Amino acid sequence: MRNSKILAKTRAGQPARIAMMGYFLPNFIAHAASLGYDGIWLDLEHRAFDRREVQALLAYFHLYDIDCLLRPPTREKGELYRYLEDGATGLIVPHVSDAQSARELVQKVKFPPVGDRGLEGRGLETNFGLDIPQTRDPLVAHALRETFLIVQIETPQGLAAATEIAAIPGLDGLYVGPQDLRIRLLNLPEGERVSVDEAIRQVAAICKQHGKLWGSLASTLDEVREHYALGSQLLVWGIDARMIERGLAQSSGELGQVMSSK
């Protein structure tokens, strides 16, 4: 069973380097691993994958020894922990706005005594059972130590409940979704609004107080620097769609230069 590189980094007091992908790109996994990324955020919330595609990608994550931080499109219990059985290292669940929902997620994806995850043991998580030939006990201990659960704070209600959410045992971190949060904050009465930057600072302070991981998705390199300065342990930078857009724009411009040089 493989250990989490994200958790190894953050336990050592260092931030984890995380890329993001939303398309079926096995080569992206190989290159990210070779360049020193600790994990890749695999987005199933906004991108469509079938189950076999996810399983195939997770095999590449294990082949290249890099964490998969998977954002699921569901909160159904069996579906959530099946992603872990299939080899995901952690889950990042969107739009968690209250402590009760966060507690329910812990129950769904953590083994006893922390939660109530179901036990099987024949997936890629255990090398299809080869790593636990005698008993499932090592799987339980390993999963409690080397898999993680993060919830996204993307609403004013979630921000208001962040202190209560961060205090939940078995929950490993909070992640501010800046775009969803921003459009919801704009709809509050003016006297109740805070900026997304202030929301990030609030979550950073709350997570520091409770010993939890935190991060927020940056749009610019300056924002990455700001999050790093605030102590973010989950630095996401390097999105497949953005790289494709920029790479094609550069290549198209270069072709234009060549074609206009006659």
User: What was the pLDDT predicted at 130?
Assistant: 96
For residue 15, give every residue at least 6 positions away whose Cβ sits within 8 Å of its Cβ, in sequence order, or none. 9, 228, 232, 233, 234, 235
pLDDT in tens, 190-241: 878 899 999 999 999 999 999 999 999 999 999 999 999 999 999 999 999 9
**For the residues 25-54, what does the mean pLDDT come to?**
97
Cα 6 to Cα 19, 26, 69, 187: the distances in Å are: 12, 20, 9, 35
> What domains can be seen in the chain, in order of their start residue?
5-259 (3.20.20.60)
**Tokens 């958790």 sit on residue:** 7
pLDDT at 262 over 80: no
234-239 and 16-21 beta bridge pairing: parallel
In angstroms, the CA 142 to CA 144 distance is 5
User: What was the pLDDT predicted at 224?
Assistant: 97
- Write down the mean pLDDT value for the chain: 96
User: What was the pLDDT predicted at 187?
Assistant: 87
Query: What is the identity of the amino acid at 219?
Result: S
Residue 40 · residue 20 · CB < 8 Å: yes
User: What was the pLDDT predicted at 191?
Assistant: 77
**For the residues 71-79, what does the mean pLDDT come to?**
97
pLDDT in tens, 48-67: 999 999 999 999 999 999 99
Q: What is the pTM (predicted TM-score) of this model? A: 0.94
Residue 207 · residue 174 · CB < 8 Å: yes
